[in-house]
């Protein structure tokens, strides 16, 4: 088993699309106007429909999995969304290792262009003691 090293980071980038928004609507059942109705979103001052926050946050799971590997699972995760993201924005989801031991700790930073739009933290635990 290999461990990530403190300070190591990985960034996963993805442009969030209408199709993915539709999939998440189906999974979550969330029909909030900001997320599914362009007219309502624009009336609230957004350029397009807002991206589901948890769909954006899910991009961090890719970075975490790539850093930690298959022996680890997410045991804690938290996000702070600094502003709404809208469809067609590209999110760069960066996970950085801050602690290595019996568990792994990470800071999470999401940027759209040069702007930080998401901040967070995560902790990963071993899947089982035998791994």
With bands split at pLDDT 50, 70 and 90, how would you rate the model's confidence at 129? low
Highest CATH level, class, for 9-16+53-126: alpha beta
List phi, psi (to 5°) of 3. Answer: -110, 145
Q: What is the domain partition of the chain in residue ranges?
A: 9-16+53-126
Q: Distances from the Cα of 100 to the Cαs of 8, 11, 14, 114, 123, in angstroms?
A: 11, 19, 27, 29, 10
Convert the pLDDT of each residue in 25-63 to its tens digit: 888 888 889 999 999 999 999 999 999 999 999 999 999
Residue 11 DSSP label? E
The pTM assigned to this predicted structure is 0.90
What are 18's two structure tokens? 């209408």
Mapped onto helix, strand or coil, the DSSP state of residue 95 is: strand
124's tokens: 């990963």
Q: How far apart are CA 47 and CA 68, in angstroms?
A: 36
């Amino acid at each position: 088993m290999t461990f990530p090293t403190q300070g190591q980071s990985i960034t996963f980038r993805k442009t969030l699309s209408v199709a993915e928004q539709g999939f998440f609507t189906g999974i979550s059942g969330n029909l909030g106007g900001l997320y599914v109705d362009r007219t309502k979103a624009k009336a609230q001052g957004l350029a397009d429909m807002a991206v589901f926050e948890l769909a954006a946050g899910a991009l961090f799971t890719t970075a975490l999995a790539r850093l930690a590997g298959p022996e680890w699972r997410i045991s804690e995760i938290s996000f702070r969304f600094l502003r709404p993201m809208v469809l067609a924005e590209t999110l760069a989801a960066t996970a950085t290792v801050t602690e290595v031991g019996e568990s792994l700790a990470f800071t999470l930073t999401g940027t759209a262009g040069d702007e930080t739009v998401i901040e967070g933290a995560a902790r990963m635990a071993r899947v089982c003691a035998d791994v």
